[in-house]
Each structure stands twice: as C-alpha cells, then as structure tokens.
C-alpha cells in the first residue's frame, strides 16, 4: 500500500471534506472534521464511494473497515498520512483483508452476545393493552420505513408520535424529520404538531435522552415502535453493536420503566440467513437458534437484537416482531429509497448493458404495504408475543424486471454470471457506476464456502420464508400486498426515470 509522500494529513482531510460535501449536497463549511461520519447518515454505498475516492487519491486499495476504526475525517486523514518509519507503507489496521484477498469475518458467538440486562423487567405482568394510544415513541423516524410508519400511525390513531432523533437541538430535530418526510412525498404541515422530535442517540445509555424527558416518556408513552438501526454492509458487528444491539436493549429498558409499554420491533428476515435454514420452510413462530453462516455484521446484529426482544417477551413484556424483506417503493407513487440494493444494482447493470443470468426471485414488499401491516398488526392485542413475516406472498423472477426495463427502450442483455462478474472487474472501474462502490459485496468471498453476496440470494441458498400466518392475521383488514406485476414495476421504473435516477440517454 504505497502512499504518495507529498500528501499531508491536511490535504487528505480537505479531500475528504470536499467529497463528503459533494456526496451529501451540502456546503464544505457544514462538515465538522471531528464529527463521527456515521452522524452524516452515510449508507453502505455512500461509504464505499468515499473509500473509492480515497483509492484514487492514495493509489492503493483501502479497506472499507477503516471508516469504523477511524470514524472521523480528522482521525482517518491522520491515519492515512502516517508512514512506518523508514518506509513508505501505511501501517496495518485491524480487520485487514486475509492473505487470500478475502475479507475475514470475525469469529463471534452470537448466542453469547444475546444477554439482556437482568434489571430490565416489566413492573407488572398484567399490563392493560392500549388499543387507542395517545402517545407513541418511535425510533428510526429519519429513515425510509420509519417515515411511512409515522404517516400510517398519524392516519390510523389520534396519537402524538415522539421520534428519537440525533440532532443538536429541538429545531434541528424538527428539520430532519420534515426533510425526511418531504424526501418521500409524505409531508403535510397539518401533521407537524403531532410529530415531536426527542433529542437522543440510539447508541447511548438511556437512548441519550435528557433525564427529565426520559422520565416523562416512561410515564406517558403507550406504545413503542423500534424501527431504528444502523444499516451498513461494510461495517463489522462490533461497529453496529452499540446502535443495533445495545440500542434495542435501551428501548426495552424504556418499555419497562414506570409502566409497561408494548414494543413493536422491526426485525429482518436476515435472522434466518444461517446455512442451517437453506432450502427449508421457515414459519413466523419458528425458533432461530442457529447463527452459523451469518457473516454480515448487520445481519448478526439483527439476530442478536431480536433474541433480546424475545427474552424481554419471556419476562412478560408485550412484544410483536415484524420481519420485512427488502423493502420496495410506494406501490402508488413509486417513491423509493434509491440507495437500496435493487435500485443500485439496476442502475449499475444498465450502465454495463447487461444483467447476470441468475436464479433470483423478487420478493420485495412495497413500503406502504409493510408500514400498514406493521401498524395494523401492532394494535391488535391478539398479536402480542407473535412474529410476522412481511415477505411478498407471490414473488416473481428477476427476469420480469429485466423484461420491463427493456420495454422502456433500454438496451440490456442477460449474460452468464461468470461473464457478468468479469465485466464488473474489467469495465466497472469508476465510482460513476454504483456497482463500483459495491465491489466488496459482489466479488469478495465472505465465508468458508467462498460465497459472494449474489450467491447468498440464489434460490438454492435461501430459506423459504412463509408468510401464511401473517396473511391470515391481516384477513379482513383490507391490507393486501400488491402483486409484483407489470403495473407495479412500471410505477417504480417511471419514478426512477422521472427523478433522473435512471436515464434513457
């Protein structure tokens, strides 16, 4: 890893500030070099874009995990500017690539991680379930699904929704929530008095909430929706443990303070990513005790966090667990998270001119279906203690999406997987293509079986997620998951073209 000796820490720092500001579409003066990069809301693809830019500057392959070990611009720049005395090599860092060039996942005993603080006990085991809540506490309100859950809660209840927000003050918290609503075309000024920011941090003890406000919430909240999490496919388990695992523990602590408050936890079908469930039918109430083969840090944190929720449930806390798959756009407007894997993959493959010929099924569920189902199920007392799968009940082949994209006039070929991988290596060599930032996920072998991320999504390597019990629970509610047909795919593709995310040129 040869470093240009003419570069200083200050130059690297300025480079990082410039690129981060461009990426986030803000002014350089708004970047604090001592602020944790996580606080800027970088997702996996954006983090990889920063790493890719660094590689171009420094002329060596930088490990993405550097962003965890040196989480501020100042510390990262200083680290990259250091040289081993007498050489021009950058010092090694932890979690370095293995000698085979593959990312070596840390060895973890996830069962040993799943230990809930014994002091977290509901004050009574005979709490009254409130079907018409007046006050709701929610995490993840500045995220994609969180925004839709808030909107649904505002429509289906008369409650005021108190949203945990990482911000400097109340006004900044309001602005962050409003901008997130506007981003997904959900904002209505009339909702403003019922959406209240609570300044805090999911990764901190007592959620980082001021003591007096914490006590007020503990006494007055009727239901808790925990949809907040750090989602990053680059970082290891240790990087996301504070927010995803310990943050869940703090949510459960709040639920048991003063009075019992039901917790509705947004988990993930990733809890069944273990090799033990490949090809097997997994139903909603099945146990998930095997973690072998779960090697992505995010998936590991979701496995442990859901275990904590279930432990709290065994202690008498009312819980519901909601496991969505990949969440697609709004079925009516097409509004979506353009940074999700499917959208980035689609855009990148269009730029390449080809899609891999793989046995993939699209089982994504529209975000409006997921949010409606979560809110409806959470407010039914008979749901307490149960898990729900929000998987699409009628998945379709990925080739359906390719056929529709072609109908828009895009020139797109389906090629053998090996050829597509070769094209990815030889032709995708610039951050202009989003797949360049996803190289570690698409090309690295992340397990003893030498599986890549695309390998994990092959039908042969996936569990069969049943959602029949969930469909039965939704019967009579009028909540139906829209079919993944040409009309839905047309809605999504039209939105992506209209916003300029996809270009016909």
Q: How far is CA 479 from CA 240, 323, 372, 376, 390, in A?
A: 33, 17, 7, 9, 12
Query: What tokens were used for 201?
Result: 């941090």
What pLDDT does residue 63 have? 63
> 37-50 burial string, b = 16+ CB within 10 Å, else e?
bbebebbbbbbbbb
Q: How far is CA 298 from CA 33, 96, 240, 242, in A?
A: 26, 18, 7, 12
- Tell me if 97 sits within 8 A of 126, measured CB to CB: no
What pLDDT does residue 100 have? 31
Q: For residue range 195-235, what is the model confidence (pLDDT) as tens digits? A: 999 999 999 999 999 999 999 999 999 999 999 998 876 67
What pLDDT does residue 91 have? 37
CB within 8 Å of 100: residues ≥ 6 apart: 445
What pLDDT does residue 89 have? 37
- Tell me if 207 sits within 8 A of 250, measured CB to CB: yes
| CATH number for domain 9-81, candidates 1.10.3260.10, 1.10.1200.10, 3.20.20.70, 3.20.20.190 | 1.10.1200.10
- What is the C-alpha separation between 50 and 73, in angstroms, rounded? 11
Give span(s): CATH 3.40.50.720, the chain: 127-332+364-389
- Tell me if 339 sits within 8 A of 46, measured CB to CB: yes
DSSP state of 142: T
Flag residues of the chain having pLDDT under 50.
Answer: 1-4, 83-106
Q: How far is CA 19 from CA 36, 47, 55, 65, 449, in A?
A: 16, 11, 13, 18, 37
What pLDDT does residue 98 have? 33
Q: For residue range 102-138, what is the model confidence (pLDDT) as tens digits? A: 334 446 899 999 999 999 999 887 678 899 999 999 9
Residue given tokens 């300029």 in the structure block: 500
- What is the C-alpha separation between 267 and 246, in angstroms, rounded? 15
What pLDDT does residue 12 have? 87
Give span(s): CATH 1.10.1200.10, the chain: 9-81
Query: What tokens were used for 346?
Result: 């689609």
Architecture of domain 127-332+364-389 in this structure: 3-Layer(aba) Sandwich (3.40)
φ, ψ (nearest 5 deg) of residue 83: -130, 145
């Amino acid at each position: 890893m040869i470093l240009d000796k003419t570069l200083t820490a200050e130059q690297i720092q300025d480079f990082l500030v410039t690129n981060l500001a461009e990426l986030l579409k803000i002014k350089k003066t708004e970047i604090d070099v001592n602020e944790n990069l996580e606080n800027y809301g970088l997702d996996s693809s954006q983090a990889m874009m920063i790493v890719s830019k660094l590689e171009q500057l420094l002329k060596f392959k930088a490990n993405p995990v550097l962003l965890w070990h040196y989480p501020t611009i100042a510390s990262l720049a200083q680290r990259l500017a250091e040289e081993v005395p007498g050489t021009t090599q950058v010092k090694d860092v932890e979690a370095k690539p293995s000698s085979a060039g593959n990312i070596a996942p840390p060895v973890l005993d996830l069962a040993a991680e799943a230990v809930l603080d014994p002091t977290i006990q509901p004050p009574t085991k005979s709490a009254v379930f409130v079907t018409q809540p007046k006050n709701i506490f929610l995490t993840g309100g500045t995220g994609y699904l969180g925004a839709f859950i808030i909107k649904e809660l505002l429509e289906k209840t008369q409650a005021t929704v108190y949203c945990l927000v990482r911000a400097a003050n109340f006004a900044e918290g309001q602005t962050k929530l409003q901008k997130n609503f506007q981003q997904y075309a959900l904002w209505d000024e009339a909702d403003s008095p019922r959406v209240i920011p609570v300044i805090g941090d999911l990764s901190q003890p007592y959620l980082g909430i001021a003591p007096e406000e914490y006590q007020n919430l503990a006494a007055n909240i009727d239901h808790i929706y925990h949809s907040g999490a750090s989602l990053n496919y680059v970082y290891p388990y240790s990087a996301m443990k504070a927010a995803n695992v310990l943050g869940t523990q703090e949510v459960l602590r709040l639920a048991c303070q003063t009075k019992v408050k039901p917790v509705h936890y947004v988990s993930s079908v990733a809890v069944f990513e273990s090799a033990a469930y490949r090809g097997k039918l997994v139903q909603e109430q099945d146990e998930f005790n095997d973690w072998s083969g779960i090697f992505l840090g995010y998936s590991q944190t979701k496995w442990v966090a859901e275990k904590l929720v279930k432990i709290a449930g065994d202690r008498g806390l009312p819980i519901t667990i909601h496991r969505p798959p990949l969440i697609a756009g709004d079925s009516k407007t097409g509004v979506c998270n353009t940074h999700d894997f499917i959208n980035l993959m689609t855009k990148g493959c269009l730029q390449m001119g080809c899609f891999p010929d793989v046995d993939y099924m699209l089982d994504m569920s529209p975000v409006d279906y997921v949010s409606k189902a979560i809110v409806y199920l959470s407010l039914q007392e008979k749901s307490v203690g149960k898990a729900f799968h929000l998987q699409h009940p009628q998945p379709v082949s990925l080739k359906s999406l390719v056929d529709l994209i072609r109908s828009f006039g895009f020139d797109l070929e389906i090629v053998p997987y090996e050829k597509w991988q070769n094209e990815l290596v030889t032709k995708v060599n610039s951050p202009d293509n989003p797949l360049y930032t996803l190289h570690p996920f698409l090309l690295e072998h992340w397990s003893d079986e030498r599986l890549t991320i695309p390998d994990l999504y092959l039908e042969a390597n996936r569990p069969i997620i049943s959602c029949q019990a969930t469909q039965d629970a939704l019967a009579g509610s009028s909540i139906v998951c829209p079919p993944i047909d040409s009309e839905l795919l047309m809605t999504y593709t039209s939105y992506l073209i209209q916003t300029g995310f996809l270009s016909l040129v």
